[in-house]
Every structure is written in structure tokens, then in C-alpha cells.
Amino acid sequence: MKILSDELSLQEKLNILADAAKYDVACTSSGVDRRGQKGSLGNSCAAGICHSFASDGRCISLLKILQSNECVYDCKYCLNRSSNDRVRATFKPEEICQLVIEFYRRNYIEGLFLSSGVCKNPTYTMELMYRTLYLLRNQYHFNGYIHVKAIPNAPGELLEQVGYLADRMSINLELPTAEGLKELAPHKTQTAILKPMGQIQHRIADYRLSIGKDSRMERSSQNRYLSDSIFDSSPKYIKENHQYPQVSTFHPPQAEKPAPFVPAGQSTQMIIGATEENDYQLLTTSQQLYQQYDLKRVFYSAYVPLNEDANLPPLDTPPPLLREHRLYQADWLLRYYGFHAEDLLSMDRPNFNVFLDPKCDWALRHLEQFPVEINRADYAALLKVPGIGTKSAMRIVKSRRTGVLTFDSLKKIGVVLKRAKYFITCQGKMMYHIRIDEDFITRQLIGEDYQKSWDIDHPGSYRQLSLFDDQMFQIQPDTTDVQQTVFGQL
């Protein structure tokens, strides 16, 4: 439902459309080496685009706005759905250009994140966004970072023209299964989302080959030491017999070198907790997207109840922030640590342990592979050890060339010994006399990790300092205990 907004000022539009964009995730770097030039504004190569985040997750170094919050779709989870009574506003392309340039000159922002509701139809909306980017790049000579959300069902050639103006593009998958999408977003289909995603990937590969690079996006240089990374596996398709769309005939204007096409790659976003999908379904979907569509990032967004609906969680349901955190940790393990979704979860164990991070949980279920001898283990084996990250694993491998490593050496290198000590030896000896027992190690790790998990799941909450380890007590007091406490008997 639309509430007329023809007389809104630019400031009022900004307030409405910036607030409407806060549920989009945009914590990505530019991935491009475009320096400031004489007569141009913006610089996207100074250590990439660095971001600061407010307490509610907003990215404050980008101007993050919607082109329009009008929408012809009625997705049940969305605040801007057509059936909601909200003030609707639409930016003209020139208005967004004015805001970006003025904010950049004042050093408020480093770039633009532009998304939109589907105003009138996907083609009209994508044309508005293309016009905005075209003016920024060619009339205002803005060289800063631009991340744009592509609109499914928009013409392929229009998407490609936008890709030659943007640094990063993304299309939200929204939900990991076609069934969940049909239930909560009946106007959208997984096919309509995956088709432009494949088209963008093909055009990115075409551009990369034209400049002499590998067709697939660069990953961490240290991934070359992993023999079983998800990026080395043969692609696993989300749907059987899936066919990539044909690349269109649109070509950029002739130039001395090929025009960059989405140099920072593409990403997507999935909502966590709006439907009944488990962590295993989410993680396997992410793995398939990385392998099949060469995505640079998959983002996870804890569902914040905004609308009342029988198919949605109640409005008083807290966002599953800890679950979101565990998925990000697992996603990191897929991209940098050589893990696969099948290593971390299964149909029998479809959800992550809320008390332990995914790497610790995996290690406890595979104690037969531990302890690892620090002075002999290869890089891939070191990455499996809780408390050892990619940097510290590489430092260990390099430091062993000059001498034997001790636990003191590991501490200086940056190994988190409070977790690693249960899984490693130095010269055949453990740091302390520790039982290699799953229950014992689990209790120790949970005690160390519980406070961190509680803080993630209860942001902004106050907890009184206690002399006792009362966070470990989950049993509610009975009536007798309460009475004795009131009368001073306890």
C-alpha cells in the first residue's frame, strides 16, 4: 500500500530510504585498483574500502540507500512489501548523485551501496539504477567504490551495462530452498535469481580471460597449499541438469583495454531464521554457490521479525544472532581452511553447536587425528587445529626452517594456546598433562567460550559481575530455594 510522498524533500527521502536499506548486508571490499585522478572524485584503492559498523550492523563508510522503497512484490518477511502501510519514496538519479558527491566531499563516505524495491517492474527499476550509476561515473566523474543490487527478471543486457559501471554486484538468494522462497516470497523463484547470477559470472569470466587472468575469482594465496579446497572441487549444481544462460551480445564501448566488469565479483545474501531450514541446508547451499557461480562472498542475515504472518516467527522472537555468527565462522572455514560442508555438518547433525565454534566442534568429533606435532605437521593439518589460523599456520611453517618450536614460540607467533593446547604437541610433549577425552575437553572449551556466545546472543545486555561461575548454572531455583533466600536462610 502506498502513502503519497510527492512533496517529500531530499532530506526526508534520505531518511526514509536509508532506513529502508539497513537490512541489506554490505561489508565487502572494492577489489579494484582505481586511483584518484585529476578532475575526478573518489579513490577505491587505498587499502581497499575499509568499513566501520554501528552497533546494529550498519555499514557507516558507505552511503547505503534504496533507489525506491516502492515494491510491487509482497514478500512476507520484507518491511517494504506492497501490503504494508509505509511512506513511499523514490530518488531521482540526479538526487542520488548529489548526495554521493556532497557526502564524499565532506569525507562522510567512501562509496555507494545501492539497492531498490521493485518499482513498477524490474526493467523500470534497473533502468533507474543504471541511469544513476551512469551519471555518477560519466557526468560527475566519481571513481569511488559502488556496490549495486541487481534486480531479478531485469533484461540481461541492462544488467551487463550496470556491471561495467559497478565494482560489485549482488543478487539476494533470500532463502536456501525453493520451497522456502515459494512460501514467503511467492512472486520470486529460485530460477529467476540464479539465471542472472550465472550470466554475471559468465561475463566476469569473459572479462578476466580478456586481461590474461584465470576465469575464476582470486582466493587467498594460501589456498594453494590446500589439496582439498572447495574451490578445487568439481562444481556441484544446485539443480540437476542446470544450464547456464547464454551470454548476451552487448559489448562495452571500444577502448585500448577491456572495460572492467564487476572487478570485485558478485555476492549474495540469505535470511537466517525466517523458515525452518537447518544449518546444513544453508551451508551446503553456500558451498554450491561458491563452486558453481564463483561468488566472492555469501552473507547471512539474522531474521528480525517485522511483519505479522502465520508463516513467520512471532514479533517477539529475538534475532538468531549466535546462529548467524556460527554460520559466518563455518563459511570462513570453507573459504580459507579447506573444510567442506559435509565435514562440519550432516543430515544426522544438521545444526551447529551453540556452545562451541564449528572448528572446535569438528576437532572434538575427530580426536583420532590429534594431537598434532607442531614441528612436523603440514600446513593443511595445522589449519585443522583450534586456535591456529591461516597467518599463525604460515608463520609456524616458516619458523620451523630456523629451529625447533616450543610453546613459548607458539605464543609469540600468535597461536591461541587456551584452545590449541588440547590438540598439539611440541617435540612429542603436550603443554600440560591433559587427557585426550572428548567430555573433558568439551567442558574446558565451553567454559572459555560461554561468555563470548552469551554476549553475541544478548547484544547490549548488562550482566552484574559475580564472584561465582553462575553462567554455567542453567537450573531454575525451586520454591524452597526462593523462600530460604527471602528469609536469609541461604
Q: Which residue has the higher pLDDT, 323 or 5?
A: 323
Same domain, 199 and 337: yes
Q: Residue 65 is inside which H or E element, if any? A: strand 62-66
- Percent of the chain topping pLDDT 90: 63
Same domain, 208 and 284: yes
Cis peptide before 371 (omega within 30 of 0): yes
Same domain, 286 and 423: no
Q: Looking at the predicted structure, is the pLDDT value of residue 49 above 70?
A: no
Same domain, 283 and 231: yes
The pTM is what? 0.83
Domain-embedded: residue 445: no
- Quick: pLDDT tens for 172-195: 999 999 999 999 999 999 999 999
Domain-embedded: residue 467: no
Domain-embedded: residue 482: no
Residue 64, phi then psi, degrees to nearest 5: -105, 110
Bridge partners of 147?
113, 168
pLDDT grade for 2, boundaries at 50, 70 and 90: low
Same domain, 136 and 228: no
Same domain, 141 and 214: no
Same domain, 112 and 79: yes
Choose one of 438, 456, 481: the last residue of a domain. 438
- Return the pLDDT at 370: 95
Domain-embedded: residue 124: yes
- Return the pLDDT at 42: 55
- Quick: pLDDT tens for 188-231: 999 999 999 999 999 999 999 998 888 888 887 788 888 788 98
Structural Rg of the chain based on CA atoms: 25
Q: Which residue has the higher pLDDT, 45 or 317?
A: 317
- Return the pLDDT at 157: 95
- Quick: pLDDT tens for 441-487: 999 898 766 666 656 666 655 555 554 445 544 445 555 655 555 45
Residues in CB range of 300: below 8 A, 6 or more apart: 25, 269, 270, 272, 282, 324, 327, 328, 331
Task: For residue 410, give the C-alpha cell.
Answer: 607458539
Domain-embedded: residue 125: yes
Q: Looking at the predicted structure, is the pLDDT value of residue 272 above 90?
A: yes
Choose one of 415, 438, 461: the last residue of a domain. 438
Residues in CB range of 466: below 8 A, 6 or more apart: none
Please give the Cα distance from 269 to 153 (Å, whole number). 18
Domain-embedded: residue 486: no
Same domain, 151 and 218: no
Angle at Cα 222 formed by Cα 218 and Cα 228, nearest 5°?
90
> What is the total count of domains within the chain?
3
Note the Cα 313 to chain centre separation in Å.
23
Domain span at 62:
1-169
Collapsed DSSP state (helix, strand, coil) of residue 8: coil
Q: Are 70 and 81 in contact (CB under 8 A)?
A: no
Domain-embedded: residue 472: no
Choose one of 169, 203, 231: the last residue of a domain. 169
Collapsed DSSP state (helix, strand, coil) of residue 346: coil
Residues in CB range of 178: below 8 A, 6 or more apart: 189, 190
pLDDT grade for 252, boundaries at 50, 70 and 90: low
- Return the pLDDT at 481: 59
Q: Which residue has the higher pLDDT, 149 or 488?
A: 149
Same domain, 183 and 90: no
Bridge partners of 420?
none
Same domain, 71 and 204: no
Same domain, 85 and 223: no
Please give the Cα distance from 128 to 143 (Å, whole number). 20
- Quick: pLDDT tens for 348-365: 999 999 889 999 999 999
Same domain, 142 and 280: no
- Quick: pLDDT tens for 149-168: 999 999 999 999 999 999 99
